[in-house]
Amino acid sequence: MHAPSPMALLLIAIVVLVLFGRGKVSSLMGEVGKGITAFKKGVKEGAEDIDAAARGETKELEQVNTADDIERARAELAAERAKLEAERARIAADSTLRDVTPNDTNKL
């Protein structure tokens, strides 16, 4: 497949602007920029952590001191556990709905 022509790209841009409006597209691009910035920051911090570990240094981990932090962490774990249980139930239901058509390869 070849790349779309400049005229096609212009047409797509016009359709997007008409559908979403200038403000929505502008805010969406702002969010994309923030995401890219956060990604670059995460990559930089990850590289610093790897370098520190290679030198034998360790960063101090933040302590969870307040009861609110502990409760928030427990709530997040409970939500994750619920998601996993729902996924297990879905997989179990899918496995019971497997194909039950007879295998007629020996009749050919």
Residue 13 belongs to domain spanning: 1-56
Task: Kindly state whether residues 2 and 52 are assigned to the same domain.
Answer: yes
Q: Is 103 among the domain residues?
A: no
User: pTM here?
Assistant: 0.37
Q: Is 104 among the domain residues?
A: no
Task: Kindly state whether residues 8 and 49 are assigned to the same domain.
Answer: yes
Task: Kindly state whether residues 47 and 80 are assigned to the same domain.
Answer: no
Task: Kindly state whether residues 4 and 50 are assigned to the same domain.
Answer: yes
Task: Kindly state whether residues 51 and 72 are assigned to the same domain.
Answer: no
Cα-Cα-Cα-Cα dihedral of 9, 10, 16, 17, to 10°?
160
45-102 tens-digit pLDDT: 888 888 887 776 554 445 546 878 888 888 999 999 999 999 988 887 776 666 556 6
